[in-house]
Each structure stands twice: as structure tokens, then as C-alpha cells.
Amino acid sequence: MSKRQASEALDDVLDRDSPASKRSRFDDYNKSLTPASVPENGDDSREGTHQNGLGNGIREEDEDGFGDEVHEKAPIRQSAPTEGYDDLYLDTIDRNVLDFDFEKLCSISLSNINVYACLVCGKYFQGRGPKSHAYFHALDESHHVYINMGTQKVYVLPEGYEVTGKSLDDIKYVSDPRYTRQEVMEFDRRPRNSFTLAGKEYTPGFVGMNNIKENDYLNVVVQALSHVSPLRNFFLLEDFSSAPELVKRTSILFRKIWNPRAFKSHVSPHELLQEISLRSNKRFTLTAQSDPVEFLSWFLNHLHLGLGGSKTKPGSSMIHRVFQGKLKVESQAITAKADASDRLRFEEAAEVKVDISRFLLLTLDLPPAPLFQDERERNIIPQVPLTTILAKYNGVTAQELNAQRKRYRLVHPLPPFLVLHVKRFSHNKFVSERNPTIVTFDARNLDVAPYVEPDPAQHPPGEPIWYDLVANVVHEAVRAKDDVADSGEERKTWKVQVRDKSTDEWVVAQDLFVDKIRSELLYLGETYLQVWERRRGGPPATSTSLPSRSKGKGRA
């Protein structure tokens, strides 16, 4: 064959057609992937034709020169399962690995949009389309069943059809528990027990909470608030789908705490903690210990705003209707003059300023702890009755603060729930001190009438106003240990004691540990935060001796 001239085409010299270029074949392949080329049901009507594309044969010549067609088909997308295969892949679901308490983020893209949970391994993935992470996970790992964390719909991938049977309703319920009004009303009336997947018995509402690192300060606050009946019922029954994320995640955690069909006997506050860390600019995190009272104050105020409450209008949200009360504050400037004997005296005729302020919690001051040993040369732990430190609000006892003498007294109407904070910690530039004084109290029959300004229109004079204890947060000082030896420093840990109204028994919860406790032993710890519920009339309740704590059997 003679040399081809520059003006001659190669096809003319070889007398054959030139094969399609790689670029044109690649363009045809991309066109086949466009949505316009695939019907909605996922079936490719052009299957068997000679067009190049996804699911069609691509003509390739092998090394021997034979033109065999190699068909590489992608899984067919279906709108419904094949007849007779409705339960396909459902036997691969592992309920023991499912944990919907963690934040709903894709494990690959870290996105929280359109998240699906794999019901085989429990991991989160984004989307379910042909190019999504869940789709590739189904192909790579042969994990085929996924649930949408927003709509609670279950799909089979890569086929893409929805599972409409009722065999997975238990998983949907654990992911997003829902209650009827009748079920919620029975929580405080009838004793109930449930069982986990492993057959372990637990009581809904009295379950452990995971301490991821140092978030026990949040655990005790959430446990206490979840037993405030009006607040609990509100978060269990209302629809918060359009509410702020903080309110939505609080509702989800409350519903999981009271879940009677849980797979495990504990919950994790991870999802709520991530939102709190974001909203508080990392003031409250899961890696650093914080003060429960500071967190409670922040939490209640932000829940109030998230529920549409106003900063100036009282009673504009459920938070204020449950906890907010009024306080009368009398202020008198302290002035001093010297008399003839050169002694300083306060002027009794100084002007008194009266203000009415609102509160969500009341602070109680402990008497100073003794600095020396007793007469028997032994260290003692001082004790003080709750009624003694409540005298701060009797309108008579005065406190000196910022060159002013102040007196406090409660004002009608009293809130349905009183939150009391026993101030134990004091800080200055050099040291932080803890007051170990024990506060003694009876869990029933706290009469707050002596601390309320009389108002015959609101309450008959001389009649008691009874409050009963609902939750008691206790501080424990634990010596910190390192890998070598004890450091000698103390770290704070927290636990909460809550009352089961259906059985009138008390339960102590510290992270994952949950057990019964006698009511007579409640005050033995360092009480830090208390929630009291106002009784709706009736005679004083009698304190009954509860059975001793069971051995070897807990509620966790």
C-alpha cells in the first residue's frame, strides 16, 4: 500500500468506516443517565436496542476480533415489590443495633437533609436516589432496608420501592413514639412495666440516660423536667413539626423517656445536646461539666422563647404557666450615723422601695459551715431544716446586699410548681468553696403559706398551702483519679431522685443506674435543686414507709 497523502482521508485508504470516537460514546452514556431517558417507575423501555447507555449493551471487540456484546445492567428501579416477594430482605433487619438517639447526620456527607437509617447496620446515609450514599451502601454492603428519619417511611434499595406492611411498625414507633391523650393520663394512675428486646424489665419514664462524657448535669435536669406532669404531657401530645429545633428535640427525648415499647432500657441525650451546644455557643457541651442550675435557667428561658413566649408578657408559654411566680422585694438603703457615744447605727426611717419581680426558681442560702471541730474533736456535717432557709422569703428576715437591706416575700398566685435552688458553691478569684451542709426535709406537706403575702381574694387567711416533692437533684463530690495516683482534687457528679406517682415510690437515677430508694433517705445527700408540686386541696398527706431497696434487681 502506497503512502497516504496528506489530503486523503484514512477511511478512503482503508476502505472501511471509522469507529465512533470515545467522546461520542461517553456523551451517549451520560445522556442515558439523564432523568428524561428513564421512566418514573425505573424501567428502561429501550432495553434490547443498540443504543449505548445504562442498562443497554455496549458493542466491544475482544482480542480475537469477535464482536460479542457485553450487557451490564444496573438494578431496576421499582415502584412496588415483585408479586410474591413483599417481605424480601426484611429478614436481614437487626433491631439490636438500631439506636435512633444520635443526631441524624449522614455518616459520609455529614448532612442532616433527607437522612435515611440503614436497618441492617444502623448507620445514617443521605438520600435514596441512584447517586445517593444510601444507594451505594446498598450495592456495596448488600444492606437493602432503609427508613426515612423524617417521614418514617421504609424503602428497599436499590429497587427503591416502599415497604407498606405492618411488620416494621415497632421500628417506626421506637424512632418516633406517639401517644394518645388516654395513654398519657394513665402514666400517673396505673403502674406499668415493659420489657426490652433482651427481656429486661424496665418502667417507662424511669430509664437511664447515657453519660457520653461529662453531661450528667443535663441528664438530671431533663429527668426532673420529664416528671413535671403538665410540661411532660405538653411535650408528649403536641405537634412540634414546625417548631424550633430545640423544642422539637426536647419533645423527642421526652417521648423516648416514656416509651413503653423501647428496644433498650436507656436513652441518649446526644441529639438534644448537639442542639444545646450550638444554641449556647458551646457554653453547655457533652465534654465539660456545667452547673445544673445555670443550665436549667438557660434551658427554660430558651424553651419559653422557642414556644412563642414573650419576654415581657407573663404566662405567654407553657414554661411560664408551670414555673413562673411573683416575688415582692423591699429594698432599703443602708446609711450610718454616729451618735454621742461614737457608735454607728442604721436609720430606721429610711425610705423603703417595693418592687414586684417574677421568678422561675428561688435561691436558698445555707448558713456558713463550721470552721472547727466539735467538742469531741471530730468533724461533723452540719444540718439545717428546709423551713429554716426558706425563712428568707417570710418578709421579715433581711439580707444586706450592695449597700441595701432587702426583704423578700412570695405573692399570690403561686405557681403550680416551685423550683428551689440550694446555693452550695461560692467562687472568688482564688478558690471555689463548697458548703456540705445537709438540708433536712419531708417529701410531703411543705407548707409555704408563712412565706406568702396574705391575699384573701386569692387564698383564705390561715389556710396552709401544701407542696409535695417531685424531684430532688443531689450533688456528690468524687475524688478525681489519674493513671498514676489520686490527684486529690474533687470533681462533681450529679444524680436525681424522682417520685413515681402511680406507686408512690421513689427512684434514684444516676446516668445508666436506676434503682428504688426509701423516702426517708432522700435528704441524706447534698440537695442542690428541688421541684415541688402544689397539691390541689385536701388534708395533709401521710408519709408512708416504703419497702427497702431491692437487692440485685434494678429498673435500669
Of the pLDDT bands very low, low, confident and very high (cuts 50, 70, 90), residue 349 is low
pLDDT for res 540: 61
Which pairing describes strands 362-365 and 417-423: parallel, antiparallel, or unpaired?
A: parallel
Share of the chain above pLDDT 90, in %: 55
Of the pLDDT bands very low, low, confident and very high (cuts 50, 70, 90), residue 350 is low
- Looking up cell 449505548 gives 52
pLDDT for res 429: 72
pLDDT for res 333: 83
pLDDT in tens, 296-309: 999 999 999 999 99
| DSSP 8-state secondary structure symbol assigned to residue 430 | S
How much is the average pLDDT of 237-263?
Answer: 94
pLDDT for res 59: 39
pLDDT in tens, 9-31: 555 544 545 444 444 444 444 44
pLDDT in tens, 53-77: 334 443 333 333 334 444 445 556 7
Cell numbers describing residue 168: 416494621
Residue 62 contacts by C-beta under 8 Å, 6 or more apart in sequence?
68
How much is the average pLDDT of 267-290?
Answer: 94
Closest of 190, 377, 361, 221 to residue 291, by C-alpha: 221
pLDDT for res 57: 41
Per-residue pLDDT for 267 more than 90? yes
pLDDT for res 33: 45
Of the pLDDT bands very low, low, confident and very high (cuts 50, 70, 90), residue 314 is confident
CA gap 311, 305 in Å, rounded: 8
Is residue 109 within 8 A of residue 115, CB to CB? The reply is: no
What separation in angstroms does the CA of 379 have from each of 108, 374, 436, 545? 58, 7, 12, 31
pLDDT in tens, 162-217: 998 888 999 999 999 999 999 999 999 999 899 999 999 999 999 999 999 999 99
Q: Average pLDDT of the chain?
A: 81
Is residue 472 within 8 A of residue 497, CB to CB? The reply is: yes
CA max distance for the chain: 137
Where does 173-293 show beta strands of DSSP type E? Answer: 194-195, 201-202, 208-209, 266-267
Cell numbers describing residue 179: 401517644
Where does 301-445 show beta strands of DSSP type E? Answer: 325-333, 336-338, 344-346, 352-359, 362-365, 383-385, 394-401, 404-411, 417-423, 425-427, 432-434, 438-440
Closest of 90, 145, 157 to residue 118, by C-alpha: 145
pLDDT in tens, 471-522: 999 999 887 665 444 555 778 899 999 999 999 999 999 999 999 999 888 8
Closest of 465, 506, 436 to residue 206, by C-alpha: 506
pLDDT for res 6: 53
Range of weakest confidence among 99-103, 232-236, 429-433 = 429-433
Higher pLDDT, 421 or 396: 421
Cell numbers describing residue 359: 421568678
pLDDT for res 75: 59
Range of weakest confidence among 43-52, 132-141, 404-413 = 43-52
* CB crowding 455-485: b at 16 or more within 10 Å, else e: eeeebeeeeebbbbbbbbbbbeeeeeeeeee
Give this prediction's pTM: 0.80
Q: In one letter, which amino acid is 196?
A: T
Is residue 374 within 8 A of residue 380, CB to CB? The reply is: yes
pLDDT for res 538: 59
CA 37 to chain centre: 46
For the chain, what is the radius of gyration of the CA atoms? 34
pLDDT for res 315: 86
Domains of the chain in start order, with CATH, are 20-71 (no CATH), 90-173 (3.30.40.10), 326-534 (3.90.70.10)
Is residue 226 within 8 A of residue 257, CB to CB? The reply is: yes
pLDDT for res 23: 45
- SS3 of residue 274 by DSSP: helix
pLDDT for res 335: 74
Q: In one letter, which amino acid is 304?
A: H
Closest of 481, 446, 439 to residue 465, by C-alpha: 446
How much is the average pLDDT of 350-373?
Answer: 86
Of the pLDDT bands very low, low, confident and very high (cuts 50, 70, 90), residue 93 is very high
